[in-house]
Amino acid sequence: MSSVIADVHDSQWLRLFARRSAAAGTIGWLLLLLTTTSDSHETELIHKIVFFAVLVIVPLGLSLVDAGEQRISAMLYRAAVLVQPVAAVITIASFFVEKGVLSASLSAVWLVVSGLVALLGLSRFTARGLYPLYESSVDAGLLYLPVAGGWLIIYRLGVQPFDYGEMIILLTVIHFHFAGFAAPIIAGLNGKMLATTGHRPGRMYAFIVFAMVAAMPFVAAGITFSPLIGLVGTILLSTGLLLLAVLTIGRVVPAIPSLSGRILLSIAALSSCTAMVLACLYAYSLVAHILILRIPTMAMTHGLLNAFGFATCSLLAWSIINAKS
């Protein structure tokens, strides 16, 4: 019994540490807004979103993850949470060093953290299985994070595999932090709320999880092989997020007693809807060879709505809801 109590206390302490890391990261990020890491205004903006992801989004997301009862999962969770703040600082430092081996080596620390997070997701999944589906959604978010870490190293190394432009590589880093890591975790938290309040998530929720998890390889393949494949992935992801917004407004928000939580989740749902419409327009423009939205415009609209409207508001809402619970 004493061992179980100690494990629970340790888990609670680690979650609190992760929340405080996110709070300290927010202050650090605000100070970083005063710095310059690129000659391009568009690139500078995207750099700042990457900084926000490593300093705030990842620790806030980890604070909402249940490490599970397995000893290996608890060890991986502890390692990821405790190493994250140091790794985030070193990773950001790489942006103040000229691209090359040194910069890539510094950013490689983030791949280590991402790897720990992915192993946590794998450990949780293998110990539990596919169900409950909302936990598998969380696992998918954890497993996708190393993709962002890998592309970050490539970006800081200054190479362009498959003739990708630097902007595409950088946007891929952001995409797998927010759509890859944060979105499935948010979907999992929504599903868990429905399950614990006596509402069966149902087939719509199952499709939401499938769409969000399956869409990521399609989007990646679209960048590498064909814009048409990318359009399919974007439509699938957008459909999943739009349905998640409907589920959030219609069933999750009314079940939440916290006013601030309800407001933040509503803002997140509306932001997601707008961002996904823009994503579909951009993906269609690549297939049809029609200039509808330029990449800088997408960064200023779709990117900011996803980063601060959807991901941040959702994770902050669930952090408040869990703390009050």
Spatial neighbors of 59 by CB under 8 A, at least 6 apart, are 18, 19, 21, 22, 25, 81, 84, 85, 88
Q: For the chain, how many residues are written?
A: 325
Q: CA-CA distances (angstroms) from residue 293 to 19, 171, 223?
A: 36, 15, 17
Burial class (CB within 10 angstroms; exposed 0-12, middle 13-18, buried 19+) of 231: buried
Task: Give me the pLDDT at residue 296, please.
Answer: 66
In 114-125, which positions are buried (b, 16+ CB within 10 angstroms) versus exposed (e)? bbbbbbbbbbbb
Distance CA 318, CA 312 (A): 10
Give the span between the Cα atoms of 184 and 208, in whole angstroms.
Answer: 9
Distance CA 214, CA 126 (A): 19
C-beta of residue 144 within 8 angstroms of C-beta of residue 176: yes
Tokens of 181: 């890591």
Q: How many whole angstroms separate alpha carbon 318 and alpha carbon 73?
A: 22
Chain centre distance of CA 42: 21
Q: What is the pTM of this model?
A: 0.91
Mean pLDDT by 10 residues, the chain (325 residues): 52 92 96 90 90 97 88 93 96 94 95 96 91 93 95 90 77 89 94 82 87 82 67 82 90 88 92 79 69 68 82 93 77
E strand or H helix that includes residue 57: none
CB-count burial class (<10 Å; 0-12, 13-18, 19+) for 23: middle
What is the per-residue pLDDT for 172?
86
| pLDDT confidence of residue 263 | 94
Respond yes or no on whether the N-terminal peptide bond of residue 59 is cis (omega within 30° of 0): no
Q: Which two tokens stand for residue 55?
A: 């300093």
Rounded CA-CA distance 303/272 in Å is 10
What pLDDT was estimated at residue 219? 74
Place of tokens 């989007």: 219
Give residue 2's pLDDT: 46
Residue pair 46/173 in contact by the 8 Å Cβ criterion: no
Which has the closest alpha carbon to 139: 80, 181, 173, 82? Answer: 181
Q: How far is CA 299 from the centre of its chain?
A: 16
| Contact partners, residue 184, CB within 8 Å, separation at least 6 | 137, 138, 140, 141, 144, 209, 212, 213
Token pair 């696992």 in the structure block, residue? 139
Q: Using CA atoms, how far apart are residues 84 and 65, in angstroms rounded to an integer?
A: 15
Structure-token pair, residue 112 = 């280590």
